[in-house]
Amino acid sequence: MSKNTITVSIGGREYTLSSPDNEEWTRRVASYVDRKIGEVSLHSSMSTEIAAVVAALSITEELFEAQKENQALRNRLYKEQK
């Protein structure tokens, strides 16, 4: 499996990432993280490091909510198939 190496900007810093995903996808993910850090930073004067942790918590909450919704849909589909 080949890996793509790209440079992205997150939280005002450049990072070189290596990923098996295509470049567009990796840039999209990095852009989302950058945007979340930016949103957190707009509302306070916290350091980039703390903003990154708060953004990570926010993204994780979004993930958990999406997983919960996914499971609810799976349960509903399972019940409908019975």
Residue linked to tokens 């793509």: 4
Count of domains observed in the chain: 1
DSSP structure class, residue 73: H
Using 50, 70 and 90 to split pLDDT, how confident is the model at 82? confident
Looking at every residue in the chain, the average pLDDT score rounds to 94
* Angle subtended at Cα 72 by Cα 68 and Cα 73, rounded to the nearest 5 degrees: 120
Is the confidence at residue 1, as pLDDT, over 80?
no
Identity at 38, one-letter amino acid code = G
Instruction: For residues 5-19, give the mean pLDDT.
Output: 95
- Using CA atoms, how far residue 13 sits from 44, 48, 55, 73, 76, in Å, is 19, 10, 16, 39, 44
Q: Which domain holds residue 29?
A: 4-81
How many other β-carbons are positioned within 10 Å of the β-carbon of residue 10?
Answer: 21
Using 50, 70 and 90 to split pLDDT, how confident is the model at 45? confident
